[in-house]
Amino acid sequence: MKIGIDQIGLFTPGQYVDLVEVAQARGVDPNKFTIGIGQDRQSVPGLTQDAVTMAANAALDFLTAEERDQVELIILGTESGVDNSKAGALYVQHLLGLNQWSRAFEIKEACYGATAGLQMAADFVAAHPDKKALVFGSDIARYGLATGGEVTQGAGAVAMLISANPRILALNNDSVYRSQSIQDFWRPVYSDIAFARGHYSTNQYIDFFQKVWAKYREETGHTLDDFKALCFHLPYTKQGLKALRKILPETNVDHQQSLLHYYDESIQYTRQIGNIYTGSLYLGLLSLLETSTSLAAGDTIGLFSYGSGAEGEFYSAELQPGFEEQLHGETHQQMLANRRQLSVPEYEKVFSEELPTDGSAYKADTSNEKARFYLAGIKNHERQYRDHLRGNEDAGAESAPDEPIA
């Protein structure tokens, strides 16, 4: 039985900053950002979007009434969680009106969370072929203004429907994974910005890739020649290229050129959006599928997932007949083109705005928020989610009795 990605959707907030302008404001040669790092623009989330709303918005690309009922597993992979106890997946379930006879929870392992969710969902479908799973990777990447990591920030979410007989990509059940406790990147619970040993993290990413790729080759007998394209976790687009270049000499020059061509197609969305952590690998996959005109059913795609801390996984999947018809390329191009450009001072202002951390109530300015699901504020320590279609009612949870909160 084939199991894999049946549908895939994308959301990114409606504002961006141009990284050439950021480079100029920081006194850096813009070529460092656009060529050395490989980023052009960066999505800038206001306080009205968080990991929950972005995930729910990403599923709107494809979710049908029938699928809402068939989903029995809802997994949110995120490292930008909004609560230390309640899973963001439950808010997403309520926002999207998903089946309540389901398991819903959140997974954290840095940028690897969505891959953990995807593999768990595939196992779930293998055990229950008539059921479906929704897996989200949704994050806001924040390092701080004028830091080394600033150019690698971003925000967005990918939603994936996992099922038997998938219409886009069937997993080949050949994962090789490795985990090891290292301090390359982390975010303590008291901080809303990440800390990274930037160059160490870059080298660890490559080291994990080389190790899982070597083991994958050994275990499966496959070589680089068996792959039409490779997709990578993309903290910035140069990172995946650095990894790819390590193994290119394993194939002939023509195939090297072809892999580089597909790599270029896989990084187009990330160049515009930035790092979206858990969803990043799948943003690369989406970019490849929606940009390329030469992929065909039966082509094998390799996927490398990396989460700092750290965990790496390499696996392969096969494109399914008619996959092109399941994509939403035009919608995504429009979403990117319709974003509002912020000047650098505007971006710095948005970046510096924070939700209260002392428990006080907060009402967000939602006048510019066009996305269907958004955060309207905080009241009684509870996030107030809204659905443009449902007006002012709380769209994130059922109404609770009016009882003092302990």
Name the binding residues for (3S)-3-hydroxy-3-methylglutaryl-CoA.
Answer: 29, 143, 242, 275
Selected from 9, 154, 235, 312, the binder of ligand CAA by CB under 6 A is 235
**Closer residue to ligand CAA (CB): 39 or 99:** 39
Each as own residue / partner, the long-range contacts of residues 320-325 (CB below 8 Å, 24 or more positions apart, any chain) are: 320/2, 320/4, 320/166, 320/167, 320/168, 320/169, 320/170, 321/297, 322/167, 322/297, 323/167, 323/168, 323/169, 323/289, 323/297, 324/289, 325/167
**Closer residue to ligand CAA (CB): 199 or 370:** 199
DSSP state of 321: T
**Closer residue to ligand CAA (CB): 36 or 173:** 36
Binding residue positions? 29, 143, 148, 242, 275
**Closer residue to ligand CAA (CB): 90 or 276:** 276
- Alpha-carbon distances, residue 239 vs 37, 39, 80, 150, 316 (angstroms): 8, 11, 22, 15, 20
Selected from 57, 119, 202, 291, the binder of ligand CAA by CB under 6 A is 202
Residues 276 and 198: their CA atoms lie apart, in Å, by 17
Which residue, among 120, 142, 139, 184, has the nearest Cα to 49 in the 3D structure?
Answer: 139
**Closer residue to ligand CAA (CB): 2 or 30:** 30
- 308 lines the binding site for ligand CAA (CB under 6 A): yes
**Stretch touching ligand CAA by CB under 6 A, among 11-19, 27-35, 215-223, 244-252:** 27-35
- Catalytic annotation on 79? yes
Binding residue positions for substrate? 148
**Contact set for ligand CAA, span 247-306 (CB under 6 A):** 275, 277, 306
**Closer residue to ligand CAA (CB): 245 or 363:** 245
Least separation, in Å, of the C-beta of 125 and ligand CAA? 28
Binding mask 35-74 toward ligand CAA (x if CB under 6 A, else -) reads xxx-------------------------------------
- 309 lines the binding site for ligand CAA (CB under 6 A): no
Write down the number of H helices and E strands in the chain: 13, 18
Left, alpha or beta for 380 (phi > 0: left; psi -120 to 50: alpha)? left
Instruction: Answer whether 295's CB lies under 8 Å from 319's CB.
Output: yes
Selected from 42, 115, 163, 201, the binder of ligand CAA by CB under 6 A is 201
Least separation, in Å, of the C-beta of 235 and ligand CAA? 3
Residue appearing with tokens 């959006």:
273
Residue number, nearest CB to ligand CAA: 36
Selected from 32, 349, 370, 381, the binder of ligand CAA by CB under 6 A is 32
- 111 lines the binding site for ligand CAA (CB under 6 A): yes
Beta-strand relationship, 71-77 and 132-141: parallel
Candidates 72, 94, 109, 111; catalytic one: 111
- 138 lines the binding site for ligand CAA (CB under 6 A): no
- Catalytic annotation on 222? no
Beta-strand relationship, 15-18 and 41-43: antiparallel
- 151 lines the binding site for ligand CAA (CB under 6 A): yes
Coil vs helix vs strand at 364: coil
Residues 219 and 239: their CA atoms lie apart, in Å, by 26
Selected from 103, 128, 199, 363, the binder of ligand CAA by CB under 6 A is 199
Residues 355 and 47: their CA atoms lie apart, in Å, by 7
Least separation, in Å, of the C-beta of 342 and ligand CAA? 20
* Element holding 318 (H helix, E strand): strand 311-319
Least separation, in Å, of the C-beta of 13 and ligand CAA? 18
Q: How far is CA 224 from the centre of its chain?
A: 26
- 226 lines the binding site for ligand CAA (CB under 6 A): no
Torsion of CA 364, 383, 194, 349, to 10 degrees: 0
Residues 116 and 281: their CA atoms lie apart, in Å, by 12
- 192 lines the binding site for ligand CAA (CB under 6 A): no
Selected from 178, 198, 344, 397, the binder of ligand CAA by CB under 6 A is 198
Residue 35's Cβ-count burial label (10 Å; 0-12, 13-18, 19+) is exposed
Candidates 233, 265, 290, 318; catalytic one: 233
Residues 164 and 76: their CA atoms lie apart, in Å, by 20
Longest Cα–Cα distance of the chain, Å, equals 69
Note the residues at the interface with ligand CAA (CB under 6 A). 29, 31-32, 35-37, 111, 148-149, 151-152, 184-185, 196, 198-199, 201-202, 205, 233, 235-236, 238-239, 275, 277, 306, 308
List active site positions: 79, 111, 233
